[in-house]
């Protein structure tokens, strides 16, 4: 079963990116990100419409249930949504990796300290 990591960002223009979150989601078959979001929206709409917990979460989000609200209610959703409902929409499981107010790290950030390696290791670098 395919697993996807979908990044979410809040970009506030001049303030830049202020909040990020990542959704790790497993689907029954390969899906595009728009199809995954559509399936997730249908599944969460079902939860809001058919459970007391979902209705309360919708009210508390002021009708703006986004990834932050999903992160806040994830354990409740996992306890109250039926696995059969998730499967109906092609979803198996999910985890929200909420980064809060952390800034994203540039992709090309070097993660090894070259100064801590032996000098002759530079000869191993491909030119």
**What pLDDT was estimated at residue 56?**
93
**Is the Cβ–Cβ distance between 27 and 37 less than 8 Å?**
no
Give the Cα separation of 40 and 50 in Å (integer).
15
**What pLDDT was estimated at residue 77?**
86
- Residue 13 tokens read as 């223009």
End-to-end CA distance of the chain: 40
Q: Nearest Cα to 90, choosing from 4, 15, 18? A: 4
The tens-digit pLDDT sequence of the chain (127 residues) is: 999 999 898 888 898 877 888 899 999 999 999 999 999 999 999 999 999 999 999 999 999 999 989 988 888 888 888 888 899 999 999 998 866 655 667 778 888 887 887 887 767 666 5
- Residue 69 tokens read as 């609200």
The residues spanned by each domain of the chain are 3-124
**What pLDDT was estimated at residue 70?**
92
- Residue 99 tokens read as 């980064």
């Amino acid at each position: 079963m395919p697993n996807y990591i979908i990044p979410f960002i809040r970009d506030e223009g001049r303030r830049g990116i202020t909040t990020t979150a990542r959704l790790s989601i497993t689907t029954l078959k390969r899906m595009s990100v728009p199809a995954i979001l559509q399936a997730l929206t249908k599944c969460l709409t079902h939860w809001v419409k058919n459970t007391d917990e979902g209705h309360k979460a919708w009210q508390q989000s002021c009708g703006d249930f986004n990834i932050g609200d999903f992160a806040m209610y994830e354990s409740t959703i996992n306890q109250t949504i039926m696995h059969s409902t998730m499967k109906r929409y092609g979803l198996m499981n999910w985890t929200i990796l909420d980064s809060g107010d952390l800034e994203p790290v540039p992709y090309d950030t070097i993660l090894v300290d070259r100064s801590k390696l032996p000098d002759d290791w530079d000869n191993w670098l491909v030119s």
